[in-house]
Structure 1
Amino acid sequence: MAQVEPINAFDDNYIWAIRDTDKKQVWVVDPGDAEPVLSYLAQHDATLCGILITHHHWDHTNGVAELTHVFPNTNVYGPQNSKFKGITHALRNGDSLTVFEHTFSVLTTPGHTLDHICYCNDVLCFTGDTLFSAGCGRLFEGSAEQMWHSFKLFSQFNDNTLIYCTHEYSAANLAFAIAVEPDNNDIKAHIEWVTTQRKNNLPSLPTRFGIERKINPFLRSDLPHMLHHLPHDVTVNNLTPWHNFAALRLWKDQF
């Protein structure tokens, strides 16, 4: 039976480890640093047998070269259009791969970057820097329209599906979420929970789609009231289906 555990990296990254306790084998997601992964493997007397990459940014990929040097039979899965050259198995939208008992579908989710993909099934999703708890990734390469369409793909997952994103951004994202919806009691309750978790040095992740549909302004951007508190200096000059999303992302950039 595989379990998913966080490996802390840098200031706020999580490298997710998928560990089969019986086989003593591990896959990791977005290893930006090799050292904490090697320490984790040594602690659990485990072997690395696979790497999943969501996009090319250095804090998600810089550990790959050392890890594949130490474990030369390790396959590296990632987006087929990635700038990162360490991928051995290129993936496209709709592809699938199996990690222990989990079979994941690949979703292309451009927005944060143009090569971003997510690994999802009905039990859990690795969303990289596309979907955070109470937030979404900054638009470095893609457009708000692309990210909005990427977010629409998440509607297929049930409320209990777990979300494993790659950064501990929940507290900052919730500060923005409550500014967008100051009367949202679900956001207020989640702020209290996250504050307690972080005070106890515990992660605020994974989250669930059921929670995020109540607190995440970007998943809720279609609701008519979401721009009621938009600052006057944030304007969007169109009425496309994604204009709320674009306005919220621009506001968050300045928040």
Structure 2
Amino acid sequence: MRLSALPAFEDNYIWVLRDARRALLVDPGDASPVLAAARDGLEPAAILLTHHHPDHCAGVPALLERWPGLPVYAPDDARIELASERVGDGTRLQLLGWQAQVLAVPGHTRSHVAYVVEGHLFCGDTLFSLGCGRLFEGTPAQMLGSLQRLAALPGDTRVCCGHEYTLANAGFACEVEPGNPALAARRAEAVQQRASGVPTLPTTLDDERACNPFLRCAVPAVREAAARHLGRAPADEVETFAVLRGWKDGFRA
């Protein structure tokens, strides 16, 4: 099993999980990187889509033109066309001999799903390294619940999210929790990775639980930061999360 990320657009990643010969493609918003990789031997076996946003699924028509009959797995959302099989919470798939589990993770969009494939978490725009997605269609309670569900997976799970946002997220995370040594180390690592021209991903859930403020809403230092921003103590973890997400929406490093 070999994992790689194909860069697309300004900061997207199309994830590729290969066996010896064939591959799963996750969120191909642009067909061009996949078609280029095919010239070097990439042979897709299936497409997995996490949500309906075009930068995650607009490449599908061109890929089906190149590989007619290629299975496309997607959440049950009419805004995603060309799906050959709809998936939802609890769906289990057998793909290239690997077990894949589908988790409903609403918040960024109402129908967003994540796929867990042999220790790899393909989470689209729900969980980012040191951050999380914006709430376009869900509530803070939904998004926090989704993040907590992902955070409960085994700590060595590899987090394969949809965008290279780690450095931008690190600036906000350090504003929230400047005294976190694990966060400082993660930020330094990410700076070095980007300077070397390599992705900051995948990360692990252990790392995210230690560094990502959106997974740390019960931690006193994070709650205190939310309270300073809000002007009073947040009522609970949901309000703490809502304060952080709103703060991040307007944050400029």
CA contact (8 A) 1:234 1:250 kept: no
1:150 and 1:104 map into 2 onto residues whose CA distance is 18
Label 1:69 to 1:237 Cα distance change in 2 as closer, same or farther (>3 A). farther
Map Cα deviations across residues 66-117 of structure 1 (whole Å, 9 max, x no partner).
0011100201001013521121100010001122242111100000001100
**C-alpha distance in 1 between matches for 2:22 and 2:48:** 14
The runs of at least 4 consecutive aligned structure 1 residues that moved more than 4 Å come to 231-238
Moved more, 84-93 or 229-238: 229-238
8 Å contact kept, 2:99–2:118: no
Unaligned ranges ≥5, structure 1:
none
Is residue 227–residue 233 contact of structure 2 (8 Å, CA) maintained in 1? Answer: no
| Alpha-carbon distance in structure 2 between the residues aligned to 1:224 and 1:244 | 11
CA RMSD of aligned residues (A): 1.7
Contact 2:226 2:233 in 1 (8 A): no
Secondary structure of 2:220's partner? coil
Map Cα deviations across residues 211-235 of structure 1 (whole Å, 9 max, x no partner): 0010000111122321323486646
Q: Determine which of 124, 130, 137 is the counterpart of 1:134.
A: 130
Instruction: Tell me the secondary structure at the aligned position of residue 228 of structure 1.
Output: helix
Equivalence for 1:113: 109
Determine if the alignment matches structure 1 residue 159 to structure 2 residue 155.
yes
Shift of 1:123: 1.2
Which runs of no fewer than 5 residues in structure 2 stay unpaired? Answer: none
Measured in 1, the distance between the counterparts of 2:126 and 2:78 equals 15
Q: For the residues of structure 1 that align with 2:163 and 2:231, how far apart are their CA atoms? A: 28
Please give the per-residue CA displacement for 1:155-198, whole angstroms capped at 9, x wherever unaligned: 43121111100100000111111100010111111111000000
Among 34, 37, 42, the alignment partner of 2:34 is 37
Q: How many residues align?
A: 251
Q: Under a length normalisation based on structure 2, what TM-score does the superposition of the two structures give?
A: 0.94
Select between 113-122 and 135-144 the one with higher mean Cα deviation.
Answer: 113-122
CA contact (8 A) 2:27 2:50 kept: yes
Q: Which residue of 2 aligns with 1:8?
A: 7
Q: How far, CA to CA, are the matches of 1:123 and 1:220 in structure 2?
A: 22
Contact 1:112–1:138 (CA under 8 A) maintained in structure 2: yes
Against the structure 1 CA distance between its residues 235 and 131, is the aligned structure 2 distance closer, same or farther, given a 3 Å change threshold? farther
Question: Is the partner of 1:125 in helix, strand or coil?
Answer: strand
| 2:68 alignment partner AA | P
> In 2 relative to 1, CA 194–74 (structure 1 residues): closer, same or farther, beyond 3 Å?
same
In the TM superposition, residue 49 of structure 1 has moved relative to its aligned partner by 1.8
CA contact (8 A) 1:122 1:157 kept: no
Q: Percent identity?
A: 39
8 A contact 2:151–2:209 mirrored in 1: no
Q: Which has the higher helix share?
A: 2
Letter of the 1:196 partner, please give it.
Q
Question: Structure 2 CA distance, aligned partners of 1:96 and 1:154?
Answer: 16
| Separation in 2, partners of 1:130, 1:83 | 18
The secondary structure found in structure 2 opposite 1:225 is helix
